[in-house]
Amino acid sequence: MIIPRSIGTILASLAAALLLSTLACLLPDNPYQRFQLVDGTLFEPLRRGYERIHFDPAPIDVAIIGPSKTLLGLSAPGIEHTLNQAGQTAHVANFSVPASGRNVEWLMLHEAYKTKSPRVIVVGVYDSPSFYGHPSFRFVAPARDLAIQPAPLLHNYFKDLAYLPARQVLLTFARVAPGLTGLRDHFDPATYANTRADFTTGSFVMEGKTINMALTVPAAVLAGQTVVEQKATLLERLTRRFVNRGDEAVYMDQIVREADAHHSRILFVFMPVYNRKGELADRAWLMAHGTLLDNADISDHAEYFENWEHLNHTGATILSDRVAKALAKLLSEPAKS
């Protein structure tokens, strides 16, 4: 069968576009500008995290990673203070970011190890982790980590990869003309000092909503907020079954490997949720690779919660205290071999 000329032309043009897009993915970028892509979005803490790692000379002894539960629920200054009072000086940095997805948490840890040497990693765990990757991954992850992932066909893989050529073109343009893109190529200590690092206190805006950490919310209101879990569609269930174990499993594995390779200890903190005492799917595995801190008792107390899944200032102080005590033990142990 003779293929009509136009079909050949169309196929050739698609191939050309694909080739050009692949070449675009190879364009180098300035990582600092890359991390600024999340400025003005919910994921802005990632950019501050990058700055803490690369531009802040203070060391990092404890790195906290996790979703918004740990961002609002663990206070780095609070933990430092408690440790100080116990006679241990440790620098704590909280790299948590809203929305769930272990891949970006692993990325922040990986980034931290480039210039710092945290001795303990605190990981926020919970009973309903995401199967899919983090929505911010496509913005901040290096091209290599987007293209080559530890498990084949993680579910956001193609979606994230589709954005890569556009991102690299934008970042290349940003290196040439940073003013036109708003992505700074130099670090500004004044802005850094003014960016919020501790989300366990005060009042701030997230996703358009104002969150006041000093508030206590009545139990009835909290009870009404519980989100009903969406049933997965047939297609989703099929892919989960046959494709891979999902973001949580694959990237938690990577986090543990990364920590082990750098001889860091791991503290898993089971983040409390109001009035729900779920169970961790991989409790045994977690306990085999680190220390697990249970906090089921906190979930009974409505006065510790700002919303059904996030602690308020009181709750965060209590949890940070517990974590600090657990850290004191881990930090005083001899270094892992």
Partner 1 sequence: MLNFTSPLFFVALALVACGLYILPGRWRAAYLLVLSYGFYAMVSVRFLALMVAGSLLAYGIGIGIANARSDSARVRLMLLGVGGLLGGIVVFKIGGAWHGWLLPLGLSYYSFKLISYVIEVYWDEDSVERDLTLFLSYPAFFPQIISGPIQRSEPYFQQVRALAARRLDSAQIEEGFRLIVTGLMLKLLVGDRLATLIAGVDAAPDSFGRIDLVVTIAGYTLQLYADFAGYTNIALGIGKMLGIDGPPNFNAPFLATNIQEMWRRWHMSLTTWLTDYLFIPLTMTMRRYGLAGLLLCITINMALIGVWHGFTLNYLIFGLMHAVYFSLTMLYLRYISPPRGKKAPPEPRLRRIARTAFGMVLTFALMSSTQIFFHSARFDQAIGILRQVFGLIPSGARSIGDIGPGAAETFVICALITVWAGCGAPGARRLSDRIAPVAPRWLQYGVGLFLLATLTPDSAGSFVYGQF
Compare residues 10 and 223 and give the one whose CB is closer to partner 1: 10
Kindly tell me the burial class for residue 335, based on how many C-beta atoms sit within 10 Å of its own C-beta (0-12, 13-18, 19 or more).
exposed
CB 197 within 8 A of CB 75: no
Least distance between partner 1 and beta carbon 14 (Å): 7
User: 20 or 232: whose CB is closer to partner 1?
Assistant: 20
Q: Measured between alpha carbons, how far is 81 from 91 in angstroms, rounded to an integer? A: 10
288 part of the interface to partner 1, by CB under 8 A: no
Of 24 and 151, nearer to partner 1 (C-beta) is 24
Inter-axis angle of helices 102-115 and 246-261, nearest 10: 20
Tell me the number of residues near partner 1 by CB under 8 A. Answer: 27
Tell me the closest approach of the beta carbon of residue 105 to partner 1, in angstroms.
Answer: 23
Residue 7 binding partner 1, by CB under 8 A:
yes
The distance in angstroms from the start CA to the end CA of the chain is 67
Backbone angles phi and psi of 6, in degrees to 5: -65, -35
Structure tokens at 188: 């500004």
Cα 108 off chain centre by: 7
Helices (H), the chain: 5-25, 31-35, 45-54, 68-73, 76-85, 102-115, 137-140, 143-147, 157-176, 178-181, 189-194, 219-225, 234-242, 246-261, 283-289, 313-332
* Interaction of residue 13 with partner 1, rule CB under 8 A: yes
**By the rule CB under 8 A, 9 interacts with partner 1:** yes
Contact flag: residue 21 with partner 1 (CB under 8 A): yes
Does residue 16 bind partner 1 (CB under 8 A)? Answer: yes
Q: Is 89 among the residues that bind partner 1 (CB under 8 A)?
A: no
135 binds partner 1 (CB under 8 A): no
Cβ-based nearer residue to partner 1, 10 or 221: 10
26 near partner 1, judged by CB under 8 A: no
**Helices assigned H by DSSP within 91-206:** 102-115, 137-140, 143-147, 157-176, 178-181, 189-194
Q: Cβ of residue 8: shortest distance to partner 1, in angstroms?
A: 8
Pairing of strands 305-307, 310-311: antiparallel
Q: Judged by CB, which is closer to partner 1: 12, or 215?
A: 12
Query: What are the φ and ψ backbone dihedral angles of 306, each rounded to 5 degrees?
Result: -90, -30
Please name the residue that has the structure tokens 């499993």: 249
Q: How far is the CB of 38 from partner 1 (least distance, A)?
A: 12
Stretch 169-198 residues interacting with partner 1 (CB under 8 A):
169-170, 179-182
Least Å distance between CB 173 and partner 1?
Answer: 9
CA distances from 292 to 5, 88, 231, 317, 321 (A): 64, 21, 29, 19, 15
Nearer to partner 1, 46 or 122 (CB): 46
CB of 158 to partner 1, least distance (A): 11
We find the least distance from the C-beta atom of residue 97 to partner 1, in angstroms, to be 19
Q: Which of 66, 73, 78, 165 binds partner 1 (CB under 8 A)?
A: 165
Cβ closest to partner 1, residue 6 vs residue 89: 6
CB of 137 to partner 1, least distance (A): 15
Q: Which of 20, 153, 214, 287 binds partner 1 (CB under 8 A)?
A: 20
Query: Which positions touch partner 1 (CB under 8 A)?
Result: 4-10, 12-17, 19-21, 24, 162-163, 165-166, 169-170, 179-182
